[in-house]
Structure 1
Amino acid sequence: MDRVIMHVDIDAFFASVEQLDNPELKGKPVIVGGVGERGVVATASYEARKYGVHSAMPAFKARQICPMGIFVPTRHERYREVSNEVFKMLYSLTAIIEPLSIDEAYMDITKVNMEPLECAKFIKRNIKEKVGLTVSAGVSYNKFLAKLASDWNKPDGITIITEDMIPDILKPLPVSKVHGMGKKSVEKMNNIGIFTIEDMYNLSKEFCIEYFGKFGVEIYDRIRGIDTREVEVLRERKSIGRETTLKKDLSNKEDMKKYLEYFSEEVSETLKNKNIWGKTITVKIKTSKFANHTKGKTINYYTNNKDEIYKIAYEILRDMEIEDSIRLIGLTVSTLTENKVEQLTFF
C-alpha cells in the first residue's frame, strides 16, 4: 500500500471509562446519560447494546428495552482526561493525526517504522496497559476503508483491508456502510431496490451525480475503494454549542432566557479558551411533539463576547414562531475564525 491510514476508535468510550473507574460495573449493561426521565443516552456498554440501546435514544425507551440497565450521569471532564492520555500515545508515533471526536481519530502511519499490523497491535497493547481501555483499529490505503475496517471486528478488533481485497470485500455490505450515505440516501436506494454495495455497482457515474448531487462522484468512487482525502492535521472546527433537554416543558419565552444566558456564557468561555471567534449564532428548539426548529443569524463581524452572543440569541428566540411547548433548547456559534484581532462593535 502506498499510503497507510489507520482509524482508531475507543470501544464504547464513555461506558468503558465508567466501568474502568468502577469495577463493579464491568460486564454489566451500563448506560451513560439519560439519568432523568427526559434525558437522552450518550453511549452504552456492549452489554446494553445487545438489548438495542444506542446513543441518542430517549432514556424512557432505553429503560423499556433494557430494564436491568444501570444509568450513570456523564462526566465530561473525566472523559477528556482519559482521551488526552490516549492521544498522547498516538502522537508518540506520528504527528499526522486527524481527531474526529474525543474517542476516534485517523492516523497516517505511512512513515512509521513498523509494519501496519505491528503498529496496530502496539497501539492497542499500550492503551490497554497504560489506560485500561480497549480500542478497535482499522488499517487500509485510504480513510474510507480504514474506518470501515475499524468497525469490522468491534470491540477490541484489528482489521486490515488491502487493495487486492477490493471490491469483493465491499460487495456484500449494506449501502449504509458507504461514507456519505445518510439515512435519507439509504432510503432512496432501498426504494429502487438497491440494498447492497454490489447492487450499486450497476449504477453509472452519471446516475449517481443526478441522484446524489455533488457527492455523487465521491459515492461512485468509494464503492470502488477510491478515496483521495488526506489525513487533515488541523481539522476545521465547524461550530461550538450547548443544548439541554428541559426537566419541564416551557411555553413562555421569558422562561427560556436564562438557558440562553447560561449557554452564551459557556460558549463564550470555550471560544476564548480556544482563541476562536464566530459570526453565526443559531438557536435550536425541540417541541413537546418532537419537532425540531432552528433559526440563525450571521452578523458582519466576529465575536466571542458572551453579552453579544446572548443579545443576538434572545432576538432570534423572540422572533421564532412557536405553537407548542418546548422540551429542548440549544445555542450554537459557527462560521469560526482563529483571527487574533477582535473587531470593534458598537455593542
Structure 2
Amino acid sequence: MGSIRKIIHIDMDAFFAAVEQRDNPQYRNKPLIVGGQPFARGVVAACSYEARKYGIHSAMPSTKAYRLCPQAIFVKPRFDAYLDVSRSIRSIFAEFTDIIEPVSLDEAYLDVSAVNLYQGSATFIANAIKTAILHKTQLTASAGVSYNKFLAKIASDINKPNGLYLITPEQGGVFAEQLPIDKFHGIGKATAQKMRNLGVHTGSDLKNIALEMLQQHFGKAGLHYYDICRGVDHRPVNNHRVCKSIGVEITLQADIVTQHDVVNHLQALLKKAVLKVAEKQLSAYAITVKIKYYDFIQITRSRTLTQAITPVLSAHHLFEDLLKNTDVGRRSVRLLGITLSSFKHSSGLQHAQQIDLFDNL
C-alpha cells in the first residue's frame, strides 16, 4: 500500500482584504470590500470577515454588497502588493519543503511526507508555517493537514480564520461520508445540483452510487467522485507541472441575455485568470472565451495579441470584438469561461499605459 502521505494545505485568510487592512490601519475591524465600486457595475473581488457578517462574499455584484452594508469601505485592488506578499509566503514554504503546488496567490499544497523537522509531525510543521507567515507578513493563514489533497483542502476551511485542523487516515472515510455534497471541494454549484437531482446530498449518499452510474452522469470525473467520498485521493502535490493554459469559468445561477451582462461577467472572469497567470510569474498573449447557451450549445472565440494580457489591458472592446457574429444578445447564456494561454515568463504584473481593466469592476 505504501507509506501514508503527509499533505498540508495553506490558505490565507481573506487575503486581499487582510493585506489592505494591514497596510491601512483605518480599515481595520471594519467591513472592507476589495473590487467593484458601490455604484458601478462589477463584482466583489474579496471582503473582510467584518463584511462577511452582512452576507457579502466574493463574486457578489458590488451594488448588492452596498445594499447589504452601505457603511462598507470599497477599495480598488493593489495587485502588486498581493503579489509581493504571495512571494514572501512562497519563500516560507520553501524553508520547509521543495514539494509545493501553488493553487493561487493565497493558497498552496505542500507535501511534507519526507520532512524530518518537528519529528516529522505534519501538524507541528503546519503550525510552524503559520507562525512564520504571521511574523513575516503580519497576516494569518489557515492550515489543513491530512493524508491527501482533497481532505487537506477541506480541513483548511474548517476553523477559519487562523485555523489548523487535522484529518487522520482513520477519520478520512467517515469525515467524507458526513460531508454535505456542496462542501466537497471540486464539486461546483451545477454539479452539486445535478447530484441532488440524483438523491445525493452527502458523501454517504454519493458512496451509495455505483461507479458506472457516476461515470455515466459525470464522465471522467465520476471516478474522482467515487474516490473522494471514500476519503481517497491519489493526486500528487505537483511542483513540476508545465502550465500551458489557465482557465476559469462560471455556471450562472440564472441565464443572462444582454451583451452588457455577458461582458461584465467576462471581465470578472478575466480578472481571476490574470491573477492566476501573474502568480505563476507568467504573461499570457492569447485569450479564449467560452460561451454555453441555454440549450447547451457551446462556442469558443480566441484572439492572440501582440501585448501581454494584464490587469491594465483594456478588455471591454476586446470582448465586444470576440462576441461579434455570435448569438450573444439574442440567446440566453448559462455558462461563461475565460482561458489564457501562449505564456512567456514575466517578472510579475506589467505596467503598460492602458485603461485599467478594473475601472468598471
- TM exceeding 0.5: yes
Where relative contact order (Cα < 8 A, 6+ residues apart) is larger, the structure is 2
Give the letter aligned to residue 228 of structure 2. R
Aligned mate of 1:27, from 26, 29, 42: 29
Whole-angstrom CA distance in 1 between matches of 2:100 and 2:302: 33
Is the alpha carbon distance of 1:215 and 1:53 closer, same or farther for their aligned partners in structure 2, counting shifts above 3 Å?
A: same
Query: Does 2:71 align with 1:68?
Result: yes
Whole-angstrom CA distance in 2 between matches of 1:38 and 1:172: 39
Secondary structure, counterpart of 2:220 in structure 1: helix
Aligned mate of 1:9, from 8, 11, 14: 11
- The aligned residue for residue 238 of structure 1 is 245
Query: Does 2:72 align with 1:80?
Result: no
Is the alpha carbon distance of 1:193 and 1:250 closer, same or farther for their aligned partners in structure 2, counting shifts above 3 Å?
A: closer
In the TM superposition, what are the counterparts of 1:101-180 in structure 2 within 5 Å? 101-114=104-117, 115-180=121-186
Aligned mate of 1:206, from 186, 209, 212: 212
Q: 1:91 offset after TM fit, Å?
A: 1.2
Whole-angstrom CA distance in 1 between matches of 2:186 and 2:142: 22
Secondary structure, counterpart of 2:19 in structure 1: helix
Q: 1:195 offset after TM fit, Å?
A: 1.1
Q: Is the 8 A contact 2:153 2:185 kept in 1?
A: no
Q: Is the 8 A contact 1:282 1:313 kept in 2?
A: no
Q: 1:170 offset after TM fit, Å?
A: 2.1
CA deviations on 1:278-321 (whole Å, 9 max, x unpaired) are: 6x543579xxxxxxx974148xxxx66339x9999886444345
Q: 1:323 offset after TM fit, Å?
A: 3.8
Is the alpha carbon distance of 1:169 and 1:42 closer, same or farther for their aligned partners in structure 2, counting shifts above 3 Å?
A: same
- The aligned residue for residue 246 of structure 1 is none
Secondary structure, counterpart of 1:296 in structure 2: strand
The percent of aligned pairs where both chains have the same amino acid is: 42
Is the alpha carbon distance of 1:332 and 1:305 closer, same or farther for their aligned partners in structure 2, counting shifts above 3 Å?
A: farther
Which 5+ residue runs of structure 1 have no aligned equivalent?
A: 242-248, 286-292, 325-329, 340-347
Q: 1:332 offset after TM fit, Å?
A: 5.9
Is the alpha carbon distance of 1:139 and 1:40 closer, same or farther for their aligned partners in structure 2, counting shifts above 3 Å?
A: same
Normalising by the residue count of structure 2, what TM-score does the alignment of the two structures yield? 0.73
Whole-angstrom CA distance in 1 between matches of 2:92 and 2:321: 46
Q: 1:51 offset after TM fit, Å?
A: 1.2
Which 5+ residue runs of structure 2 have no aligned equivalent?
A: 249-257, 292-297, 331-335, 346-361
Is the alpha carbon distance of 1:281 and 1:217 closer, same or farther for their aligned partners in structure 2, counting shifts above 3 Å?
A: same
C-alpha RMSD over aligned residues? 3.6
Q: Is the 8 A contact 2:259 2:328 kept in 1?
A: no
Q: Is the 8 A contact 1:295 1:316 kept in 2?
A: no
Q: Which has the larger radius of gyration?
A: 1
Q: Is the 8 A contact 1:281 1:334 kept in 2?
A: yes
Is the alpha carbon distance of 1:142 and 1:240 closer, same or farther for their aligned partners in structure 2, counting shifts above 3 Å?
A: closer
Secondary structure, counterpart of 2:152 in structure 1: helix
Whole-angstrom CA distance in 2 between matches of 1:70 and 1:192: 43
Query: Does 2:202 align with 1:196?
Result: yes
Is the alpha carbon distance of 1:81 and 1:237 closer, same or farther for their aligned partners in structure 2, counting shifts above 3 Å?
A: farther
Q: 1:275 offset after TM fit, Å?
A: 7.0
Secondary structure, counterpart of 1:282 in structure 2: strand
Give the letter aligned to residue 307 of structure 2. K
Whole-angstrom CA distance in 1 between matches of 2:191 and 2:338: 26
Whole-angstrom CA distance in 1 between matches of 2:144 and 2:337: 35
Residue range with higher mean Cα deviation, 189-198 or 312-321: 312-321
Secondary structure, counterpart of 1:306 in structure 2: strand
